[in-house]
């Protein structure tokens, strides 16, 4: 089995790791495909329209062919609902949606960078339904002008259109490619790079070992390898990654530069096998040749040296075996240098026997050790490069990759390791929320007059207009991961105190079915007149409603301003039940006051705040909140402050704050912020 198939550097990423990367990075409709998630596919048929809804609970990935990737989306509790007049409801459907696309290396948008990508606009999609789902589809189509085969064909077409609209998706596998230049093992720079699947043979469980392979050439001017010669992933069982460097690339880019650097020579100036030079002097010994040969489990380093003395010429040869291990995640070389073999020519008797072998042996050991140390440093740089400098792998780089095994074969060196942790988006869970708002539909009456403040900062006369407003609240339930069609049960109830962050108390409520008017008893209502602080009235309120997929509520303007709590309980075809609550505020009676009242009030408040600050009434004094639908939290905070200070000025001004802010004041008091803790700190201080 070939590991490198004639390439210089092969990076293998396991199928499982590619799947995790896809879950974290591929998006359908703006959401990641980390299950569970849901897909909505518009359905259009001549004379009819509707919505397909898939709840995906599992995603798998398989590699096929040269570069194809098959994503399998396992769905359940899914549905196709076609609106009238065709009126088809096929629910509780389960099955698999297969998406076949092609992986490719494309420009990342950064100079010289390529990234792994799949263009889903060319994807093909197939839909497989379970037998139970097939039966439900047949039942839903009974009596309809649409047969199951046509239905499924249309569903497949729509699903394919949806997937194709997703467009190009990119995995964070980025590589630098510089054609025509020598690549770099340590910096992860390729001269050429190809992407191909690596498919193994089936094991005893009929599972195929699969990986995505990045096949790179680092040396220009030599033909690329043939990826088809690689007959399976080199990734060890239980591992994510394998990085293999060919003996050729190791020799040219790692081993030889490690010898050349200390001699301050180019590789070409080195003696064979690195270059064609005559030899380099190292500590008085001339290195006349050196080579590295990959064998099973080791690299053999062989070389020759020469040394001449007063009465001798010595020629030596040496051999070292270099083995590798991973210690604490670091690549470590273990170099064993054999005793060198030396032939000495002597012209006549001279005493040198004891003086020669030891020093030459030491020097040879030094040469081999230092060159291998330098080589290992480059290999470490490669692993660091793979870990983030040169190639990114996963968001923010491949910084967390860990290696725990290294293997050497006649082809090259392979590091085995694990991908960094891939952070998947938080999975969703079934639930529901209420979204909606109240708008004013019309004006049904009111009054006009003048309001006089006889003394104090606000002294003056201000014109006002009272208006009674007919308002409509429109609310929809927004489900998440719930099957369709949903059975919705809407309720309204009076608010007992502030709206809580927690589930509604269901002790007093009215079910809303169809259309009608519900009476909610003993509701706290408010009228802005008499000025400035108006009137609170506890009374029954009458709320018109239409309850269906959408809840529409209408107030009765003469009943003033009040808040209610709206709840919805949803039940899906699989029997999952969830609920949600929201507040609704009707402002049936409001006052607009003019004549410079607001400007005067703001001025008075600022003056009063200045006094409060001067006397250090509170550790923290909030600013005046301008009148224009301020954030509820800001107004709540200001109101709390005025209550807490409790000076005559605050007592005088508080009703005017309520008048100025009008409905905002009421909304603030009924908001969730009002039910939360105050950010005011410290105790009131005495003057």
Partner 1 sequence: MTDRRHKSLEIGSYAELLRREREILERIERMPNGGNLFLAHPFRLLADVGVVLAKKVEEEIRALHPELSGLGDGPYEALKASEQPQNVRFNVKGLFRRREE
Q: Which residues bind partner 1 (CB under 8 A)?
A: 314, 339-349, 351-353, 356-357, 361
Angle between helices 131-141 and 148-166 (to 10 degrees): 110
Q: How far is the CB of 319 from partner 1 (least distance, A)?
A: 12
Instruction: Give one DSSP letter per residue of 417-482, joined into a string.
Output: EEPPPP-PPPPP-SEEEEEEEEEEEEEEEEEEEEEEE-SSTT-EEEEEEEEEEEEEEEEEEEEES-
In the bound state with partner 1, the residue whose beta carbon lies nearer, of 201 and 310, is: 310
In the bound state with partner 1, the residue whose beta carbon lies nearer, of 343 and 426, is: 343
In the bound state with partner 1, the residue whose beta carbon lies nearer, of 355 and 535, is: 355
Q: How far is the CB of 232 from partner 1 (least distance, A)?
A: 44
Q: How far is the CB of 349 from partner 1 (least distance, A)?
A: 5
Q: How far is the CB of 366 from partner 1 (least distance, A)?
A: 17
Q: How far is the CB of 323 from partner 1 (least distance, A)?
A: 23
In the bound state with partner 1, the residue whose beta carbon lies nearer, of 206 and 348, is: 348
Q: How far is the CB of 393 from partner 1 (least distance, A)?
A: 49
Backbone phi, then psi, for 262, in 5-degree steps?
-65, -25
Three-state DSSP string of 129-161: ECHHHHHHHHHHHCCCCCCHHHHHHHHHHHHHH
CA–CA separation, 629 vs 665, rounded Å? 9
CA–CA separation, 284 vs 281, rounded Å? 6
Q: Which residues contact 403 (CB under 8 A, 6 or more apart)?
A: 326, 329, 331, 383, 415, 416, 417, 418
In the bound state with partner 1, the residue whose beta carbon lies nearer, of 304 and 381, is: 304
In the bound state with partner 1, the residue whose beta carbon lies nearer, of 206 and 349, is: 349
CA–CA separation, 115 vs 142, rounded Å? 50
Q: How far is the CB of 423 from partner 1 (least distance, A)?
A: 58
Q: How far is the CB of 288 from partner 1 (least distance, A)?
A: 17
In the bound state with partner 1, the residue whose beta carbon lies nearer, of 327 and 353, is: 353
Q: What is the dihedral sign for C-alpha 179, 183, 189, 194?
A: positive
CA–CA separation, 519 vs 543, rounded Å? 6
In the bound state with partner 1, the residue whose beta carbon lies nearer, of 340 and 417, is: 340
Structure tokens at 648: 């005559």
CA–CA separation, 478 vs 552, rounded Å? 15
Q: Which residues contact 426 (CB under 8 A, 6 or more apart)?
A: none
Q: How far is the CB of 293 from partner 1 (least distance, A)?
A: 22
In the bound state with partner 1, the residue whose beta carbon lies nearer, of 359 and 676, is: 359
Structure tokens at 628: 């224009």
In the bound state with partner 1, the residue whose beta carbon lies nearer, of 262 and 359, is: 359
Query: Using a CB cutoff of 8 Å and minimum separation of 24, what contacts does 220-224 make?
Result: 220/179, 220/180, 220/181, 220/182, 220/191, 223/6, 224/6, 224/7, 224/192, 224/194
In the bound state with partner 1, the residue whose beta carbon lies nearer, of 186 and 288, is: 288
Q: How far is the CB of 340 from partner 1 (least distance, A)?
A: 7
**Cis? peptide before 85, omega within 30° of 0:** yes
Q: How far is the CB of 189 from partner 1 (least distance, A)?
A: 43
Q: Which residue has the tokens 């607001």?
A: 598
Q: Which residues contact 229 (CB under 8 A, 6 or more apart)?
A: 2, 5, 6
Q: Which residue has the tokens 């079910």?
A: 511
In the bound state with partner 1, the residue whose beta carbon lies nearer, of 92 and 357, is: 357
Alpha helices in 167-272 (DSSP H): 247-249, 256-263
Give yes or no for a contact between 34 and 425, defined as CB atoms under 8 angstroms apart.
yes
The β-bridge relationship of strands 241-246 and 208-217 is: unpaired
Q: How far is the CB of 286 from partner 1 (least distance, A)?
A: 17
């Amino acid at each position: 089995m070939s590991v490198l198939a004639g390439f210089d550097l092969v990076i293998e990423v396991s199928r499982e790791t590619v799947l995790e990367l896809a879950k974290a990075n591929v998006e359908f409709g703006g959401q990641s495909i980390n299950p569970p998630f849901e897909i909505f596919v518009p359905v259009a048929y001549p004379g009819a329209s509707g919505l397909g809804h898939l709840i995906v609970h599992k995603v798998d990935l398989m590699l096929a062919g040269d570069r194809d990737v098959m994503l399998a989306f396992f769905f359940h509790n899914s549905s196709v609902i076609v609106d009238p007049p065709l009126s088809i409801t096929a629910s509780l459907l389960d099955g698999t949606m297969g998406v076949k696309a092609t992986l490719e290396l494309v420009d990342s948008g950064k100079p010289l960078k390529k990234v792994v990508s799949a263009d889903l606009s060319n994807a093909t999609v197939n839909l497989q339904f379970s037998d139970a789902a097939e039966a439900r589809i047949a039942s839903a189509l009974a009596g309809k002008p649409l047969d199951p085969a046509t239905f499924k064909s249309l569903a497949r077409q729509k699903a394919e259109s949806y997937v194709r609209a997703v467009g190009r998706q990119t995995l964070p596998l980025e590589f630098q490619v510089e054609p025509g230049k020598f690549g770099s093992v340590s910096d992860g720079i390729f001269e050429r790079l190809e992407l191909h699947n690596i498919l193994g043979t089936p094991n005893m469980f009929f599972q195929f070992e699969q990986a995505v392979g990045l096949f790179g050439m680092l040396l220009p001017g030599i033909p690329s390898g043939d990826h088809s010669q690689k007959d399976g992933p080199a990734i060890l069982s239980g591992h994510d990654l394998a990085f293999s460097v060919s003996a050729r690339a190791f020799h040219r880019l790692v081993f030889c530069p490690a010898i050349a650097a200390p001699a301050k020579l180019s590789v070409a100036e080195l003696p064979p096998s690195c270059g064609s030079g005559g030899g380099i002097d190292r500590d008085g010994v001339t290195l006349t040749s050196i080579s590295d040969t990959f064998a099973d489990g080791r690299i053999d380093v062989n070389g020759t040296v020469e040394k001449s003395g007063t009465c001798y010429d010595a020629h030596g040869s040496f051999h070292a075996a270099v083995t590798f291990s991973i210690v604490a995640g670091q690549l470590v070389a273990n170099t064993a240098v054999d005793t060198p073999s030396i032939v000495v020519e002597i012209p006549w008797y001279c005493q040198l026997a004891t003086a020669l072998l030891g020093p030459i042996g030491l020097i040879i050991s030094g040469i081999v050790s230092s060159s291998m140390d330098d080589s290992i440093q480059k290999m470490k740089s490669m692993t660091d490069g793979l870990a983030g400098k040169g190639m990114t792998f996963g968001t923010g780089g491949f910084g967390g990759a860990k290696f725990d095994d290294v293997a050497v074969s006649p082809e090259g060196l392979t590091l085995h390791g694990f991908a960094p942790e891939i952070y998947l988006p938080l999975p969703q869970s079934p639930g529901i929320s209420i979204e909606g708002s109240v708008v004013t539909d019309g004006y049904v009456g009111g009054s006009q007059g003048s309001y006089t403040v006889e003394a104090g900062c606000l002294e003056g006369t201000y014109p006002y207009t009272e208006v009674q407003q007919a308002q409509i609240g429109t609310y929809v339930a927004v489900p998440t991961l719930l099957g369709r069609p949903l059975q919705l049960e809407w309720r309204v109830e009076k608010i007992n105190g502030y709206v809580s962050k927690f589930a509604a108390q269901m002790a007093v409520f009215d079910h809303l079915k169809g259309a009608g008017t519900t009476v909610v008893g003993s509701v706290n209502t408010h009228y802005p007149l008499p000025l400035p602080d108006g009137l609170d009235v506890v009374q029954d309120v009458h709320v018109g409603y239409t309850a269906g997929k959408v809840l529409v509520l209408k107030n009765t303007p003469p009943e003033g301003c009040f808040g209610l709590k709206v709840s919805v309980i949803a039940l899906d075809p699989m029997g999952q039940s969830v609920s949600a609550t929201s507040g609704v505020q009707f402002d049936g009676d409001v006052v607009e006051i003019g004549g410079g009242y607001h400007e005067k009030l703001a001025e008075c408040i600022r003056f009063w705040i200045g006094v409060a600050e001067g006397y250090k009434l509170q550790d923290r004094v909030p600013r005046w909140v301008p009148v224009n639908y301020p954030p509820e939290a800001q107004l709540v905070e200001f109101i709390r402050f005025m209550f807490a200070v409790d000076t005559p000025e605050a007592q005088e001004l508080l009703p005017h704050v309520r008048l100025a802010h009008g409905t905002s004041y009421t909304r603030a008091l009924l908001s969730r912020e009002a039910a939360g803790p105050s950010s005011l700190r410290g105790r009131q201080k005495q003057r």
